[in-house]
């Protein structure tokens, strides 16, 4: 028994066309695509034994989104999120596949034993198909090949202190060793690319040639002297991506930093510009520089920069990809494309993330890099925590946990901002959030396209519907997001996973989870 859906607007291979999609709920696969809207009595529907047919016109049918960067935090920190609430949130936004990061779960996914613990936690709890990244930590080189064989999509490491003791940072020396270990394997190494200047020579001609330079305007770090801004960036206490590792004797991170740098005594921890100054663009540039140097020595393994937030690294990335021909890919996030440092209020710690949200000028240059195919994918980097860890009542950006809850918001956010400001089309969003993310995670043969043989994963999208994001109406376990109150145009009205409806606007998610755990080997 087969089913079919159709619309005058179906996104197929870069075009919006009339089409009818015939699929099997038994196999979960698309079995035919006819580029026409069939009538209910069309003989072809009889031939395919179609028992259930819906014409969704004028709504848009597009492939289910693949969000390759989410933190579901289970096991160990399930009070922050968890597989049920996180994947329900994904389903509500047309996302049919998520790939879970190796942290902030406890234990992190850094060896086979820990992976199995995570799989036991996830089984039977996922509303969308769920895959897994492994972790890169200083002592797990011998675990990388077993994890590849067990089905992780690749690996992620931090080049600055992650802030959680169970996931230590790695160095360029480790990266070189890891690239050698996985050489010839179908995998990908990914990096949280922030790093101080300790491993880069300032007189490196290649680095200086391939980095944007711009004079900071005085208002960029409003309220800070130049010396204070420089001290914030140099303080090792403030380098941790998350504040947990910086807390000592109940002192707040900025208080601790001020003990060694008295010039910081008058810095306001509730000012977003204070936090922004502590994580300058150079952190990202330094890390990416070192990653490229490692990749030049081992140029056969795919390497990926997660959540790029600065435009300053774009010439360097272009040089690596186009001149050096290195297998380097780059993602950015919904929040870097839709939010602006200039509009973040004092004390609004729900906007804190690392790397930080930067200026509007920077945001526009990131959009330009997407349109030039220099950045090739957009993800959520969904990273929730409890309201207590966000510390809204204190408003201290340095003491607050970083991370923005956003899985499921991507399609309407990008459609709203992209169409209103940058002239993008729904086909561009499909390229960035379906096709390219599926390729990144080694699933380009089953996910990210509407084509015969692919999973019958669809997002049904109403581009005319308008609504306002409200914390209380999200599916997140902790109902706190930086997008609360944001007016959006376009909304997912239904999400279909392998032929089964898992979310419908007004009805909510399906009664039972239908997601499977993705452990098949990568195809590339």
pLDDT tens digit sequence for 228-248:
999 999 999 999 998 865 565
Query: Which among 26, 304, 264 has a CA at the least distance from the CA of 155?
Result: 304
The end-to-end CA distance of the chain, in Å, is 33
- Rg of the chain, C-alpha, whole Å: 23
Per-residue pLDDT reduced to its tens digit, 127-172 = 999 999 999 999 999 999 999 999 999 999 999 999 999 999 999 9
Convert 395-407 to b/e letters by CB count within 10 Å (16 or more is b): bbbbbbbbbbbbb
Whole-number pLDDT of residue 217? 40
Distance CA(317)–CA(312), nearest Å, equals: 10
What are the residues whose beta carbons fall under 8 Å from the beta carbon of 291, sequence distance 6 or more? Answer: 159, 172, 175, 191, 193, 303, 305, 328
Interior angle at CA 100, CA 147 and CA 25, nearest 5: 100
Q: What is the mean pLDDT of the chain?
A: 95
Whole-number pLDDT of residue 219? 42
Measured CA distances, 344 to 176, 350, 400, 418 (Å):
39, 10, 15, 20
Whole-number pLDDT of residue 248? 59
Distance CA(523)–CA(519), nearest Å, equals: 12
**C-beta neighbour count of 484 within 10 angstroms:** 16
Whole-number pLDDT of residue 207? 57
CB-CB contact of 74 with 83 (8 Å): yes
Measured CA distances, 281 to 29, 113, 330, 355, 507 (Å):
44, 37, 16, 9, 44
Rounded average pLDDT over 384-404: 96
pLDDT higher than threshold 50 for residue 522: yes
Task: Provide the pLDDT confidence category of residue 250 given band limits of 50, 70 and 90.
Answer: confident
pLDDT higher than threshold 90 for residue 211: no
Distance CA(77)–CA(74), nearest Å, equals: 6
pLDDT higher than threshold 90 for residue 173: yes
User: Token digits for 174?
Assistant: 């480790």
Give the sign of the dihedral formed by CA 45, CA 501, CA 72, CA 428.
Answer: positive
Whole-number pLDDT of residue 243? 86
Residues of the chain with CATH 3.20.20.140: 64-199+279-446
Is the link from the previous residue into 331 a cis peptide, with omega within 30 of 0?
no
Per-residue pLDDT reduced to its tens digit, 21-56 = 999 999 999 999 999 999 999 999 999 999 999 999
Distance CA(356)–CA(336), nearest Å, equals: 8
Backbone phi and psi for residue 351, each to the nearest 5 degrees, phi listed first: -95, -5
Whole-number pLDDT of residue 349? 98
Residue with tokens 């990210």: 448
Rounded average pLDDT over 429-435: 98
pTM above 0.75, yes or no: yes
Task: Provide the pLDDT confidence category of residue 251 given band limits of 50, 70 and 90.
Answer: confident
CB-CB contact of 478 with 387 (8 Å): yes
Convert 234-267 to b/e letters by CB count within 10 Å (16 or more is b): ebebbbbbbbebbbeeeebbbbbbbeebeebeeb
Per-residue pLDDT reduced to its tens digit, 257-315 = 999 999 999 999 999 999 999 999 999 999 999 999 999 999 999 999 999 999 999 99
Distance CA(241)–CA(244), nearest Å, equals: 9
Instruction: Give the architecture-level CATH label for domain 64-199+279-446.
Output: Alpha-Beta Barrel (3.20)
Distance CA(282)–CA(275), nearest Å, equals: 15
What is the percent of the chain with per-residue pLDDT over 70, rounded to a whole number?
94
Rounded average pLDDT over 388-400: 96
pLDDT higher than threshold 70 for residue 84: yes
Rounded average pLDDT over 338-346: 97
Query: Which among 64, 44, 63, 59 has a CA at the least distance from the CA of 4?
Result: 44
Beta strands in 13-59 (DSSP E): 15-24, 30-34, 50-55
Task: Provide the pLDDT confidence category of residue 249 given band limits of 50, 70 and 90.
Answer: low
Per-residue pLDDT reduced to its tens digit, 478-503 = 999 999 999 999 999 999 999 999 99
């Amino acid at each position: 028994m087969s089913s079919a859906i159709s619309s005058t607007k179906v996104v197929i291979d870069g075009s919006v066309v009339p089409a009818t999609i015939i699929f099997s709920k038994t196999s979960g696969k698309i079995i035919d695509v006819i580029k026409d809207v069939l009538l209910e009595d069309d003989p072809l529907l009889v031939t395919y034994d179609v028992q259930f047919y819906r014409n969704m016109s004028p709504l848009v049918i597009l492939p289910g989104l693949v969000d390759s960067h989410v933190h579901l935090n289970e096991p160990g920190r399930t009070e922050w999120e968890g597989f049920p609430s996180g994947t329900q949130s994904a389903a509500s936004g047309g996302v049919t596949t998520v790939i879970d990061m190796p942290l902030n779960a406890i234990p992190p996914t850094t060896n086979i034993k820990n992976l199995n613990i995570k799989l036991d936690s996830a089984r039977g709890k996922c509303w969308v198909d769920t895959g897994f990244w492994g972790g890169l930590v200083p002592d797990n080189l011998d675990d990388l090949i077993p994890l590849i064989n067990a089905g992780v999509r690749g690996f992620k490491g931090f080049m600055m202190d992650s802030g959680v003791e169970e996931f230590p940072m790695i160095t360029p020396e480790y990266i070189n060793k890891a690239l050698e270990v996985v050489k010839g394997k179908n995998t990908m190494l990914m990096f949280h690319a922030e790093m101080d200047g300790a491993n880069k020579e300032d007189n490196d001609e290649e680095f200086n040639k391939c980095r944007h330079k711009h004079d900071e305007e005085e208002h960029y770090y409003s309220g800070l002297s130049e010396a204070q801004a420089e001290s914030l960036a140099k303080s090792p206490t403030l380098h941790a991506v998350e504040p947990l590792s910086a807390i000592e004797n109940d002192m707040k991170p900025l208080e601790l930093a001020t003990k060694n740098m008295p010039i910081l005594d008058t810095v306001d921890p509730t000012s977003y510009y204070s936090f922004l100054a502590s994580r300058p663009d150079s952190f990202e540039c330094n890390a990416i520089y070192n990653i490229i140097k490692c990749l030049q020595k081992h140029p056969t393994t795919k390497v990926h920069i997660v959540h790029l937030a600065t435009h300053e690294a774009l010439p360097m990335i272009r040089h690596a990809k186009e001149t050096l021909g290195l297998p380097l890919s780059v993602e950015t996030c919904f929040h870097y494309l839709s939010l602006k440092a200039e509009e973040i209020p004092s004390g609004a710690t729900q906007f804190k993330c690392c790397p930080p949200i930067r200026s509007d000028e920077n945001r526009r240059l990131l959009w330009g890099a997407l349109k030039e195919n220099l950045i090739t994918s957009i993800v959520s980097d969904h990273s929730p925590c409890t309201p207590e860890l966000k510390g809204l009542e204190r408003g201290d950006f340095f003491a607050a946990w970083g991370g923005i809850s956003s899985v499921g918001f991507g399609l309407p956010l990008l459609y709203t901002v992209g169409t209103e400001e940058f002239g993008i089309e729904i086909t561009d969003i499909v390229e960035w959030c379906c096709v390219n993310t599926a390729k990144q995670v080694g699933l380009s043969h089953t996910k990210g396209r509407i084509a015969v043989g692919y999973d019958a994963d669809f997002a049904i999208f109403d581009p005319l519907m308008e609504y306002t994001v409200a914390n209380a109406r999200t599916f997140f376990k902790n109902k706190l997001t930086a997008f609360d109150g944001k007016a959006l145009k376009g909304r997912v009205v239904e999400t279909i996973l392998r032929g089964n409806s898992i979310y419908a606007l007004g009805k909510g998610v399906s009664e039972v989870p239908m997601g499977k755990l993705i452990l098949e080997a990568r195809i590339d």
